[in-house]
Amino acid sequence: MIRVISSVLVANRGEIARRVFRTARALGVECVAVHSTADAEAPYVGEADAAVHLPGNTPGETYLRAELVVEAARRVGADAVHPGYGFLSENAEFAQAVLDAGLTWIGPPVAAISSMGSKIEAKKLMAAAGVPVLAELTPASVEATDLPVLVKASAGGGGRGMRVVHRLEDLAAEIDAASAEALSAFGDGTVFCERYLATGRHIEVQVLADQHGTVWAVGERECSIQRRHQKVVEEAPSPLVERIPAMRAELFAAARTAAEAIGYVGAGTVEFLADDNGAFSFLEMNTRLQVEHPVTESTTGLDLVAWQFAVASGEALPPEPPAAVGHSIEVRLYAEDPANDWQPQTGRLHHFLLSDRVAEFGPGGSREEAPWIRVDSGVVSGSEVSPYYDAMLAKVVVWGATRTEAAHRLAAELARARIHGVRTNRDLLVRILRHPAFLAGETDTAFFDRHGLDALAEPLADKAAVELSALAAALADAAYRRTTAPVQGRLPSGWRNLASQPQRKSYVAGDVAYEVEYRLTRDGLVASGNVVLIRAEADEVVLELEGVRRRFGVAAYDGLVCVDSSLGSVALTPVERFPDPAHQLAAGSLLAPMPGTVIRVGVAVGDEVKQGEPLVWLEAMKMEHTIAAPADGVVAELDVAAGQQVEIGTVLAVVRVPGED
Tens of pLDDT along 80-93?
A: 999 999 999 999 99
Tens of pLDDT along 233-246?
A: 999 999 999 999 89
Alpha carbons 410 and 225: distance in angstroms, whole number? 16
Helix/strand/coil for 221: strand
Residue intervals of the chain classified under CATH 3.30.470.20 are: 326-458
Per-residue CA distances from 196 to 48, 83, 149, 446 (Å): 44, 31, 5, 12
Residue 105: the pLDDT is 98
C-beta of residue 308 within 8 angstroms of C-beta of residue 302: no
The residue among 85, 20, 5, 44 whose CA lies nearest residue 362 is 20
Q: Average pLDDT in the 538-567 region? A: 96
Residue intervals of the chain classified under CATH 3.30.700.40 are: 463-574
C-beta of residue 574 within 8 angstroms of C-beta of residue 507: yes
Q: Quick one: what percent of the chain has pLDDT higher than 70?
A: 93
Residue 343: the pLDDT is 86
With residue 184 as reference, give the H or E element that holds it: helix 171-186
Tell which wins on pLDDT, 575 or 484: 575
Residue 364: the pLDDT is 46
Residue 379: the pLDDT is 97
Lowest mean pLDDT among 64-73, 190-199, 345-354: 190-199
Cα 382 from chain centre: 18
Residue 365: the pLDDT is 45
Tell which wins on pLDDT, 359 or 495: 359
Alpha carbons 626 and 607: distance in angstroms, whole number? 18
Residue 139: the pLDDT is 81
Residue intervals of the chain classified under CATH 2.40.50.100 are: 581-656
Residue intervals of the chain classified under CATH 3.40.50.20 are: 7-106
Categorize the per-residue pLDDT at 495 as very low, low, confident or very high, splitting at 50, 70 and 90. low
Homologous superfamily of 326-458 = ATP-grasp fold, B domain (3.30.470.20)
* One-letter amino acid for residue 485 of the chain: A
Q: Are strands 149-153 and 191-195 parallel, antiparallel or unpaired?
A: antiparallel
Tell which wins on pLDDT, 156 or 274: 274
Kindly report the number of other CB atoms within 10 A of residue 456's CB atom. Answer: 19
Residue 643: the pLDDT is 84
Task: Please determine, for residue 488, whether its predicted confidence score (pLDDT) is greater than 90.
Answer: no
C-beta of residue 492 within 8 angstroms of C-beta of residue 475: no
Q: Quick one: CATH architecture of 581-656?
A: Beta Barrel (2.40)
Per the prediction, the chain carries an average pLDDT of 90
CATH of domain 130-195: 3.30.1490.20
Residue 243: the pLDDT is 97
CATH of domain 463-574: 3.30.700.40
Residue intervals of the chain classified under CATH 3.30.1490.20 are: 130-195
Residue 181: the pLDDT is 80
Q: What predicted TM-score, i.e. pTM, was given to this entire model?
A: 0.88
CATH topology of domain 7-106: Rossmann fold (3.40.50)
Q: Quick one: what percent of the chain has pLDDT higher than 90?
A: 67
